[in-house]
A = this chain, B = another copy of it.
Amino acid sequence: MGLRLSPWGTENVVEYKRLFKYFGIKPFSEVLKELSRITEPHMLMRRGVVFGHRDFDKVITALKRNEKFSILTGIMPSGRMHFGHKMVIDQVIYYQQLGAEIFIVIADAEAYAVRKLDRGEIVNLAINDYLANYLALGLSTRNLHVYFQTNYERDYYRLIQLFSRKVTMSELKAIYGEELDPGKLIAVLTQMADILHPQLESFGGFNTVLVPVGPDQDPHLRLARDVADRFSSELGLKRPASTYHKFLMGLDGGKMSSSRPESFIALTEPLESAGSKIMKSLTGGRPTAEEQRKMGGVPEKCPVFEMLTYHLVQSDEELERIYWDCKSGRMLCGECKLMAREKLLRFLEEHQEKLGRARGVASSIANIPGF
């Protein structure tokens, strides 16, 4: 595990190095060995997709001492859930199976006030797409709290109000930009409450809260840490722990994004469309087959290899074999894509079979806002 996979596990970390340097995020590799003494790390950790952390030691301590801990994650219901969204819930499910209490916030207030989405559509996407996908992926309803930002408990709202006393406009602008409007400001304070509320007695009094995110979310975490410090004596708040995972490359080479249909495959993608998208994907291949046989492919820059690494291949040995088959020029992109396509379709077929039931469960556990 871990170290063995370094050839393709650590190279990509280069681009995230500035996060270590400028923002104090620490390499996840530091805590990986310690975690592996307690339990098998998740494949995204072993493969370097989860590349950084803050205070993950707290989680390790909680695991060692068999103390309760909790995970906070969010759903931003804009666009359908795709594979670029899947890494976070895979980690959440992993922690849930290790005994963590799971808090999932549906960021409907932010979706409405900042992204200006329609409230009916927000609820529909959050429940029937995101949450249903989460459940179909294996999220259990045990130790699970799903809530809408606009429909939660009063202690949560009280946090938002109290926090407003100890943040300044200028620090928020430094983090979020000059064009900070009221909707964005409320959304930021609400996120602080999302991240910190599991520590309150009325929500379980969790001393350890871990927030697994992409690095773009780190500004929220940095602010949450500062806010926790400012309310440490008044409310007894502690800094949250966080981990950082790489973005999944889109099939067109950019970031996988709902705004470019050819870049993503949704978890609800019809099989035909999914198959066609992956066959049309960019790859890390060379201009000609001859060159590729001679020089080998570049899996580090290949969206298809990323799909395999992040999602489609469970066995590290198999992934390593594919890596070297590509790197050595033994396997060309056409063959690799067909193999990836088969894995993808098998996964989607199985997943989508579970979705109907999952939608029913999702509707039954979500406390849908009244107006």
Contacts and interface: CB of A to CB of B under 8 A. Distances in A.
How many protomers of this protein does the assembly include?
A: 2
A186 B161 CA distance: 7
A315 interface: no
A158 B369 contact: yes
Contacts of A116: 165
Contacts of A202: 370
Given A182-B189, A186-B186, A371-B235, A161 B150 contact: yes
A152 to B, nearest CB: 7
A182 B164 contact: yes
Given A371-B200, A371-B235, A181 B168 contact: yes
A186 B192 CA distance: 14
Of A158, A180, A183, A187, most B-chain CB atoms within 10 Å: A158
Nearest to A187: B164
Of A167, A169, A235, most B-chain CB atoms within 10 Å: A169
B164 A172 contact: no
Contact of A169 (B112, B151, B182, B371): B182
Contacts of A133: none
A154 B155 contact: no
Contacts of A180: 169
Contacts of A209: none
A185 B172 CA distance: 13
Given A157-B157, A182-B185, A186-B186, A162 B370 contact: no
Interface string A160-203: 11101101110010000000111101110110000000001110
Contact of A190 (B155, B161, B168, B185): B161
Nearest to A180: B169
A181 to B, nearest CB: 5
A345 B246 CA distance: 74
B155 A370 contact: yes
A313 interface: no
Contacts of A157: 150, 154, 157
A366 interface: no
B164 A158 contact: no
Nearest to A115: B165
A199 B112 CA distance: 21
A155 B153 CA distance: 11
Contacts of A150: 154, 157-158, 161-162
Given A158-B371, A181-B169, A164 B151 contact: no
A187 B201 CA distance: 26
Contacts of A96: none
Contacts of A114: 165
Nearest to A183: B164
A149 interface: yes
A109 interface: yes
Of A182, A190, A200, most B-chain CB atoms within 10 Å: A182
Of A155, A165, A190, most B-chain CB atoms within 10 Å: A165
A251 to B, nearest CB: 34
Nearest to A167: B182
7 contacts: A109-B164, A112-B162, A113-B165, A150-B158, A160-B186, A161-B186, A235-B371
Given A157-B157, A186-B189, 6 more contacts: A113-B161, A114-B165, A151-B154, A154-B154, A169-B182, A186-B186
Which 5 residue pairs across A and B have the least CB separation, nearest first? A113-B165, A109-B161, A164-B186, A157-B157, A150-B158
